[in-house]
Amino acid sequence: LFKLSDPDCIHLHRGNHETKNMNKIYGFEGEVKAKYDDKIFDLFLEVFSFLPLASVVGEKVFVTHGGLPTEPDVTLSDIRKIERGCEPPNFGLMSDLLWADPQPFPGKSPSKRGVGYSFGPDITESFLKLNGLQLLVRSHEVKDEGYLVEHGGKTITVFSAPNYCDSMGNKGAFIHFDETCEPKFTQYEAVPHPNIRPMAYAAGMGGLFM
C-alpha cells in the first residue's frame, strides 16, 4: 500500500522470502490462503517475481537483500540484465543477491544455509571499487542490536524485524542516509504480538534462517 500511495519514494526489493518455497516454510502462503484464497496468493507470487533485486542510493550505496556476487568482475550492468519474473535458481547471480552472507575472512565459502555462498571483505572491496561504490547495505540476518557493521566499515547488515519469529529477542533497526550518504541508525524494540501463536501458519523451518 505504501508503494501504491507514493511510488516515486517507496522502493521495494525482492528477498529470499519472496519465493514460493520460503512462503510455504514461513507461513505466508498459509496465512494468505486462510484469510483470502489461492488466487490472491498467486498474485502475490507474481508480484514478488518481478520485484527489483538491488538499488543504488546516491551513486554510492549498493542495497540488496542477501549479498554480493561471488564471481569476479560483476558490474551493475550485469545485475540489471538479470531476467526476472521467475523463481530464483539455486546458484548464480540472482541467488547470490538473495542468499549470500558476509564472512570475516577473505574469499568465498559454501553457506551454512545450504543455498548460496558467504563472501569475504576482499569480495566486497573488489565489487565496490569496480562499480564506483562505497558501501554495501543488506539484510537477511538477525542481529542482536538490529544492525552490524563489517568488512572494515564497507558492509552493513540491517534487520528491521524486532524479536524475530517472536523468539529471538533482537532489536530492529533502520538506516537514514542524508546527502553525504553517511549512515545514521535508529534502533527499536518489539511491541506485544497479536493474540495468535508465533509462526501459526508456518509449514516447517527446513533449516533455513532469515
Question: Which are the catalytic amino acids?
Answer: 17
| Selection from 25, 114, 14 nearest residue 66 by Cα | 14
Residues paired with residue 150 on neighbouring β-strands, in sequence order: 155
Distance separating the N- and C-terminal Cα atoms of the chain:
24
Return the SS3 of 117: strand
Return the SS3 of 118: strand
R_g of the chain, CA atoms, integer Å = 17
How far lies 34's CA from each of 7, 64, 162, in Å? 29, 31, 25
C-alpha cell at 50: 518481478
Helix (H) or strand (E) holding 158: strand 155-158
Beta strands 54-57 and 101-102, pairing class: unpaired
| Selection from 164, 168, 54, 169 nearest residue 100 by Cα | 54
C-alpha cell at 171: 532489536
Beta strands 155-158 and 135-138, pairing class: parallel
